[in-house]
Amino acid sequence: MKSRNLACIGEKSGHTAGWLTTFNDLVTLLMVFFVLLFTMGSTDKNLMKEVQNALQSGLGALSAGAKVSVALKESQRLSDLGDPLSQGQGETTPRGADSPADSLDEALAELTAAPGINVKYENDKIRIAFEDALLFDLGKADINAGGLALLENMAALIQKNSWAVRVEGHTDNIPIHTLRFPSNWDLSTARALSVVKFLIGVGKIDPTRLSAVGYGETRPLVANDSPAMRARNRRVEIVLEMEDKK
């Protein structure tokens, strides 16, 4: 009788040990799952590469010579998009010598060395603002000689990537009433279109990447309370949308 009771106890102990093994495996899998979630949510490029390599190693033994490739998409950012370049001044985050962002940052810094050009980083966009006098004569929408040279440099910069490009026209709050431009809306739109046409015809930029919009006086940078402030609001902005145009 005593040996039978011991046998029963042994059987119960065996069942308990088996349950604990399964439970431990489940907890381990959950821990690995959450570690992966945390790692994939990180922006550390090196750490993401380590996870990719680990997954490829773990999944590589499917069959002789077979390998599973795991790709982690990374957001395209320049200088961590934290510090804007303005009038050719700004700090950039050190990167490898062959980084495309380096050459683009350098091109932007060279471009903004000229007065009247400002660059601002906005999330996944780069906004390059040209005061209107750099590109157009007063009340005109035909690109002047100085503007042609600037836009040639801008086209070369745009060709370094495949991002979508939006050209925005802006005016001050003084109304315009001419036969060609009945309103500031017409003038701002015509200027944006002139830049787009130049980028297509001379800059050889793919038209599917480009768009144009005129905002008139509706989006001023500063108050239109002096000639100097109104001059700042009269501008053309070229916005690089940092998502590849597929």
Best-predicted range by mean pLDDT (17-26, 113-122, 226-235): 226-235
Q: Are residues 30 and 91 in the same domain?
A: no
pTM for this structure? 0.59
- Which has the closest alpha carbon to 133: 149, 114, 146? 146
Q: Do residue 9 and residue 45 come from a single domain?
A: yes
Count the domains in the chain. 2
What pLDDT is stored for residue 8 in this prediction?
53
Residue 43 inside a domain? The answer is: yes
- Specify whether 200 is located in the same domain as 114: yes
CA distances for 151 relative to 155, 193, 198, 201, angstroms = 6, 13, 8, 12
In the chain, the N- to C-terminal Cα span, in Å, equals 79
Residues 84, 36, single domain; the answer is no
Q: Select, from the ranges 8-12, 17-21, 105-109, the one with the highest average predicted confidence (pLDDT).
A: 105-109
Over the stretch 142-200, which tens digit does the pLDDT of each residue have?
A: 999 999 999 999 999 999 889 999 999 999 999 999 999 999 999 999 999 999 999 99
Query: What mean pLDDT, rounded, does the chain reach?
Result: 76
Taking alpha carbons only, the member of 152, 179, 171 closest to residue 219 is 171
Pick the closest to residue 190 from 138, 131, 141, 139 (CA basis): 141
**Residues 17-38, mean pLDDT to the nearest whole number:** 74
- 105 closest CA partner among 73, 81, 129, 130: 81
Q: Does 68 reside within a domain?
A: no
CB 154 within 8 A of CB 135: no
In a domain, 199, yes or no: yes
pLDDT reported for residue 27? 77
Domain membership flag for residue 72: no
Phi, psi dihedrals of residue 242, rounded to the nearest 5°: -80, 55
* Residue 17 pLDDT greater than 80, yes or no: no
Please give the residue range of the domain that contains residue 152.
Answer: 79-244
96/194 same-domain check: yes
Residues 45 and 141 in one domain: no
Reported as half-sphere exposure (CB side, CA atoms, 13 A), residue 111 has a value of 28
C-alpha distances out from residue 28 to 21, 31, 56, 58, Å: 11, 5, 20, 16
Torsion sign, CA atoms 109, 202, 240, 101: negative
pLDDT digits (tens, 9 = 90+) for 59-100: 443 444 434 333 333 334 444 433 333 333 333 333 344 455
Measured between alpha carbons, how far is 70 from 58 in angstroms, rounded to an integer?
A: 11
| Residue 103 sits in the same domain as residue 53 | no
Q: Do residues 214 and 186 lie in contact, with contact meaning Cβ atoms separated by under 8 Å?
A: yes
What are the φ and ψ backbone dihedral angles of 11, each rounded to 5 degrees? -65, -45
Tell me the CATH number at 92. 3.30.1330.60
Q: Which two tokens stand for residue 237?
A: 């902005």
Does residue 35 form part of some domain? yes
The verdict on 117 and 146 lying in the same domain is: yes
Q: 64 in a domain, yes or no?
A: no
Asked whether 21 and 45 are in contact (CB, 8 A), the reply is: no
Confirm whether 87 is domain-assigned: yes
Q: Are residues 26 and 122 in the same domain?
A: no
- Taking the CA atoms of residue 133, residue 138, residue 142 and residue 144 in that order, the dihedral angle to the nearest 10 degrees is -40
pLDDT at residue 175 in the model: 95
- Same structural domain, 39 and 152: no
Average pLDDT value for residue range 43-47? 54
- 117 shares its domain with 204: yes
**Closest Cα to residue 128, out of 98, 153, 94?**
153
Residue 183, domain member (yes or no): yes
Block residue for tokens 């395209």: 76
Residues 94 and 145 in one domain: yes
pLDDT at 167: 98
> 24-38, 88-102, 218-232: which range is least confident on average?
88-102
